A and B are shown apart, each in its own frame.
Chain A
Amino acid sequence: MTVWRIKFSIKGRLCYLSHLDMLTVWERALRRGNIPVLYSQGFNPHMLISFGPAHAVGVEGEGEYMDIDTMQGLKEENWFAFNSCLPEGIKIFSARELEQGTPSLMQAVNIADYSLRLSEFDKTAAEKAIADFFAADEVMFERKSPKGNKLMNFRPAIKAMEIRDDNILFVRIWMTNKGTPRPFEVARLIVPEARVLGCCRDALLIENAAGELSLP
């Protein structure tokens, strides 16, 4: 058995697929491509696939990851050839075999970079809002949900933020189990007057205890 770590992108409208529907897309593609994926044991066997942290519906991805358990004997080229079986909008960039004991994506990945494309807004005001954000010790945000609103401190979870190319808000978010800010919420906090026209997760990263970043 081999575990492959696949790096891929999701572009265009396919980003509106739910996590479950996306899993179905991969399962069917893998079957079409005759990739010898391993199945779980038991009454309802399913393919041994695990994604990295789920992306919100409507967010594209430039550097997404997934782990797939397969039988031995595949090469990286097989995965590139497999691109022809994937629907338009999904593309594999790289594939490598994992060494035994590599932590799973869900365990390892703790940083996500996002770019939000915004409608017109006041750049100076936004840059001031960003400076104010990092100057404060605590920035509270009220998350609204049908189950009741929740007050969250966004300050510790946001590692970096800047305006790029006049209409892009870049934000680096630290994923914790104490509640992770969502990119759309960050946009609402910093540039409340702007509408989000598109959102892309540019990268998933691993930050170690020393604060060094690496790719999964």
Chain B
Amino acid sequence: MSEIDRIEIEKFLNEELLPSVERPAQYIGGEYNSVCKDWDNADVRMAFLFPDTYELGMSHMGMRILYEAAAVTDGVLLERSFAPLADMEAKMRALKLPLFTWESHHAVKDFDVIGFTLQYEMSYTNILNMLDLSGLNVLASEREEDAPLVIAGGPCAFNPEPLADFIDLFVIGDGEEMNIELLQCVARVKKAGGTKSDILREAMKIEGVYVPSFYNVSYNADGTIAGIEAQNGAPAVVKRRIVKDMDKAVFPTKCILPNVKAVHDRMMLEIMRGCTRGCRFCQAGIIYRPTRERSPELLLQQAIEMEKNTGYDELGLLSLSSADYNNIAWLTDALNENLNPSGVSLSLPSLRIDAFSLSLAEKVQKVRKSGLTFAPEAGSQKMRNVINKGINEEEIIRTVAAAVARGWTSVKLYFMIGLPFETDEDIIAIAELCRKVLREAKGAKPDYVTKPISISLGVSTFVPKCNTPFQWCGQIPKEEIRRRQMLLRDHIKPIRGLKLSCHDSATSYLEAAFATGDRRLGKALYLAWQKGCKFDGWTEHFRFDLWQEAFSESGLSLEWYANREKSLDEILPWSHISCGVSQKWLKNEWKKAGEEALTLDCRNHGCNGCGVCQSLGCENDFKTKLPLKDEI
């Protein structure tokens, strides 16, 4: 692609693209509160690429945080870019117009650093496509020394191996401090005349930075890993970066207002990071440990500022388990009292299934009882014990019935199938549980409610993830998933008032391969992208047939990657990346799962030895409970 400057890009945008593409407003940039620093005066410039649509990207909390961290740091310029939709991409390619940023419309290729966030495996082909659309070689080894440094971070970076061929450097763990340190390191090395290899050698000294090309992976004849060897003085194990004190971490109160409605278009207040409930399938519950709360007074102040800066009328309280936040009742009261009286509505995702959570939901959805979502995850008590979800049937039924009694009419319940140790009885138990829930709910419906009760089930397929007690499991074969979905469908069908939606099994199959696979998968990913795969997370774009071709041409077996059970003593592809959790503890949890034994939450029951706090030198950080108004 020939050199093109921002003036030309803007001319193309104004005259050719915006008048002719669908929903042009998503590409115009210059949103309210967006920050456009002086290009020439910056020490280092980073393009933050969200490998999905604008509407999704603008809903992403992590981007807001990194954006703010850069905005408040002198010399650091950070701009955003998103994956263009198919019509826009086709026109850009026809005009030979490279991917550009939303702020200043510079070509992404002209930045020092290009960073991707890895939120879900199914966005990987978009990463390759966006690199290509930027005019860069997708393979790290083929990019020139003066090409931008390509980095990636986010939850999927805990097993970065499938992307090792394409990404120069990964940032593992909390990004707000690390990203700035890395950018300043890039500025320093470049100023001293260093090249990309110099940057990599310097950057690997930053805690949390992983340079995949510095590790040599060898394999056994059976395909498993024989060894992972660090070179160039790189650390044998890269430890995740952690922010210990959330009160000191940057927080965006001047968030960008998207020009088209984003999926989550509201203020977001991160009330705490981490969850220690220890559900055994859950990766977030391990990789964000321990729990670090923000002070309630600080949160209140941040919310007030955010409202002033944005004019939003909705505020989401974000965390993995909001009802666990020590001062959640105080905070919701204080927010209701202090935010705009003409109505800021609060939303509390990720609620537990209990009376306390329900009373919270009631506090925040006073007028509009829009809907409640709970995640029992499994139908039988046995399975709930296997996954360490410490709730029982009675609680689930009682909570839903109580919700209906208080006026809610639509409740969504999330379940997972394909979990280890699951039998047909456990599947049928999901239907049975829902039948009981529905019966009690109907009985609890007050007279003044005229709408019929609707209970919907969202059923996803279990995907084994690294750094969980289930990381050694294979996913059950695709056909078996379908059979279990059918079995569930057959038992749900006769129950009137229940709606069932199942997640596509082919997508979860690929997800399993990429979530727990090694760097050889890069070949299949590359071929799939070349065949035209992109936006794989969107059902209408997902082409499983092309993925199958890609796997067979690369000589890799998708079944081997997705369905094989790993042995407890083999070297796992991510064993040189540590989130702090001890492998011994994970193995013990895996054993306890088989025994249907529970492990209690360290929030209330003392440390159970997962190893994270010792390894990273941190601890659970809870804030003292403030008295509620009506208690004083």
What residues of chain A have their CB less than 8 Å away from a CB belonging to chain B?
12-14, 16-18, 20-21, 24-25, 27-33, 39, 43-45, 57-58, 85, 87-89, 195-198
Q: What are 24 A-to-B residue pairs whose CB atoms are below 8 Å?
A: A13-B18, A13-B28, A16-B24, A16-B25, A16-B28, A17-B259, A18-B25, A21-B259, A21-B260, A25-B257, A28-B312, A28-B313, A31-B312, A31-B342, A32-B310, A39-B343, A43-B368, A57-B24, A87-B30, A87-B31, A195-B15, A196-B19, A197-B14, A197-B15
CB distance from B217 to the nearest CB of A (A): 47
Shortest Cβ distance from A22 into B: residue: B25
Shortest Cβ distance from A44 into B: residue: B368
Q: What chain B residues lie within 8 Å of A17 (beta carbons)?
A: 25, 259-260
CB distance from A115 to the nearest CB of B (A): 16
Shortest Cβ distance from B21 into A: residue: A16
With the chains together, A24 CA to B342 CA distance in Å?
Answer: 16
Given contacts A58-B18, A58-B19, A197-B15, contact A43 B367 (CB under 8 A): yes
Q: Are A31 and B313 in contact (CB under 8 A)?
A: yes
Shortest Cβ distance from B312 into A: residue: A28
Closest 7 CB pairs of A and B: A28-B311, A31-B311, A32-B311, A13-B28, A16-B24, A87-B32, A16-B25
Shortest Cβ distance from B32 into A: residue: A87
Contact residues, B315-351 vs A (CB, 8 A): 340, 342-343
Considering residues A28, A30, A195, which has the most beta carbons from chain B within 10 angstroms of its beta carbon?
A28
Q: Are A21 and B261 in contact (CB under 8 A)?
A: yes
Q: Are B24 and A58 in contact (CB under 8 A)?
A: yes
With the chains together, A147 CA to B308 CA distance in Å?
Answer: 44
Q: Is B309 close to A, CB under 8 A?
A: yes
Considering residues A13, A14, A24, A27, which has the most beta carbons from chain B within 10 angstroms of its beta carbon?
A13
Shortest Cβ distance from B257 into A: residue: A28
Q: What chain A residues lie within 8 Å of B367 (beta carbons)?
A: 43
CB distance from A33 to the nearest CB of B (A): 8
Q: Are A18 and B260 in contact (CB under 8 A)?
A: yes
Contact residues, B30-53 vs A (CB, 8 A): 30-32
CB distance from A142 to the nearest CB of B (A): 20
Shortest Cβ distance from B13 into A: residue: A13
Number of residue pairs across A and B with beta carbons under 8 Å? 71
Given contacts A16-B24, A21-B25, A87-B32, contact A45 B257 (CB under 8 A): no
* B261 touches which of A24, A39, A45, A195 (Cβ 8 Å): A24
Q: What chain A residues lie within 8 Å of B313 (beta carbons)?
A: 27-28, 31
With the chains together, A27 CA to B313 CA distance in Å?
Answer: 9
* B18 touches which of A16, A20, A27, A28 (Cβ 8 Å): A16
Q: Are A27 and B311 in contact (CB under 8 A)?
A: yes
Q: What chain A residues lie within 8 Å of B309 (beta carbons)?
A: 32
Q: What chain B residues lie within 8 Å of A195 (beta carbons)?
A: 15
Shortest Cβ distance from A32 into B: residue: B311
Q: What chain A residues lie within 8 Å of B311 (beta carbons)?
A: 27-33, 85
Known: A13-B18, A87-B32. 10 other contacts (CB 8 A): A12-B30, A17-B25, A21-B260, A25-B257, A28-B32, A28-B310, A31-B307, A31-B342, A57-B25, A58-B19
CB distance from B576 to the nearest CB of A (A): 46
Q: Are B28 and A32 in contact (CB under 8 A)?
A: no
Q: What chain A residues lie within 8 Å of B28 (beta carbons)?
A: 13-14, 16
With the chains together, A57 CA to B313 CA distance in Å?
Answer: 26
Shortest Cβ distance from A88 into B: residue: B30
Shortest Cβ distance from B29 into A: residue: A13
With the chains together, A57 CA to B402 CA distance in Å?
Answer: 48
Shortest Cβ distance from B309 into A: residue: A32
The interface bits of chain B over 254-266 (1 if a CB of A lies within 8 angstroms of the residue's CB, else 0) are: 0001011100000
Shortest Cβ distance from B343 into A: residue: A45
With the chains together, A87 CA to B258 CA distance in Å?
Answer: 12
Q: What chain A residues lie within 8 Å of B14 (beta carbons)?
A: 13, 197-198
* B308 touches which of A13, A25, A29, A32 (Cβ 8 Å): A32
Q: What chain A residues lie within 8 Å of B312 (beta carbons)?
A: 28, 31
Shortest Cβ distance from B367 into A: residue: A43
Q: What chain B residues lie within 8 Å of A12 (beta carbons)?
A: 30
CB distance from B45 to the nearest CB of A (A): 22
Q: What chain B residues lie within 8 Å of A45 (beta carbons)?
A: 343
Shortest Cβ distance from A85 into B: residue: B311
Q: What chain A residues lie within 8 Å of B307 (beta carbons)?
A: 31
Q: What chain B residues lie within 8 Å of A21 (beta carbons)?
A: 25, 259-261
With the chains together, A119 CA to B614 CA distance in Å?
Answer: 68
With the chains together, A30 CA to B340 CA distance in Å?
Answer: 12
Shortest Cβ distance from B20 into A: residue: A58
Shortest Cβ distance from B307 into A: residue: A31
Q: What chain B residues lie within 8 Å of A28 (beta carbons)?
A: 32, 257, 310-313
CB distance from A75 to the nearest CB of B (A): 21
With the chains together, A16 CA to B260 CA distance in Å?
Answer: 10
CB distance from A30 to the nearest CB of B (A): 7
CB distance from A176 to the nearest CB of B (A): 26
Q: What chain B residues lie within 8 Å of A196 (beta carbons)?
A: 19
CB distance from B12 to the nearest CB of A (A): 12
With the chains together, A196 CA to B14 CA distance in Å?
Answer: 11
CB distance from B100 to the nearest CB of A (A): 13
Shortest Cβ distance from B27 into A: residue: A16
With the chains together, A31 CA to B315 CA distance in Å?
Answer: 14
Q: What chain B residues lie within 8 Å of A30 (beta carbons)?
A: 311
Q: Are B25 and A39 in contact (CB under 8 A)?
A: no
Considering residues A18, A30, A198, which has the most beta carbons from chain B within 10 angstroms of its beta carbon?
A18
With the chains together, A25 CA to B343 CA distance in Å?
Answer: 17
Q: What chain A residues lie within 8 Å of B368 (beta carbons)?
A: 43-44
Considering residues B25, B29, B308, B367, which has the most beta carbons from chain A within 10 angstroms of its beta carbon?
B25
Contact residues, B363-379 vs A (CB, 8 A): 367-368
Q: What chain A residues lie within 8 Å of B31 (beta carbons)?
A: 87
CB distance from A61 to the nearest CB of B (A): 15
Q: What chain B residues lie within 8 Å of A18 (beta carbons)?
A: 23, 25, 260
With the chains together, A16 CA to B22 CA distance in Å?
Answer: 10
CB distance from A212 to the nearest CB of B (A): 35
With the chains together, A25 CA to B614 CA distance in Å?
Answer: 48
Q: What chain B residues lie within 8 Å of A43 (beta carbons)?
A: 367-368
With the chains together, A198 CA to B313 CA distance in Å?
Answer: 34
With the chains together, A30 CA to B308 CA distance in Å?
Answer: 11
CB distance from A11 to the nearest CB of B (A): 12
With the chains together, A13 CA to B25 CA distance in Å?
Answer: 8
Q: What chain B residues lie within 8 Å of A57 (beta carbons)?
A: 24-25
Q: What chain B residues lie within 8 Å of A31 (beta carbons)?
A: 307, 311-313, 340, 342
Q: What chain B residues lie within 8 Å of A13 (beta carbons)?
A: 14, 18, 28-30
Shortest Cβ distance from A17 into B: residue: B25
With the chains together, A18 CA to B368 CA distance in Å?
Answer: 27
Q: What chain A residues lie within 8 Å of B30 (beta carbons)?
A: 12-13, 87-89
Q: What chain A residues lie within 8 Å of B310 (beta carbons)?
A: 28, 32
CB distance from A188 to the nearest CB of B (A): 13
Q: What chain B residues lie within 8 Å of A24 (beta carbons)?
A: 261
With the chains together, A29 CA to B307 CA distance in Å?
Answer: 11
Shortest Cβ distance from A29 into B: residue: B311
Considering residues A16, A29, A45, A57, which has the most beta carbons from chain B within 10 angstroms of its beta carbon?
A16
With the chains together, A197 CA to B307 CA distance in Å?
Answer: 38
Shortest Cβ distance from A45 into B: residue: B343
CB distance from A56 to the nearest CB of B (A): 11
Q: What chain B residues lie within 8 Å of A197 (beta carbons)?
A: 14-15
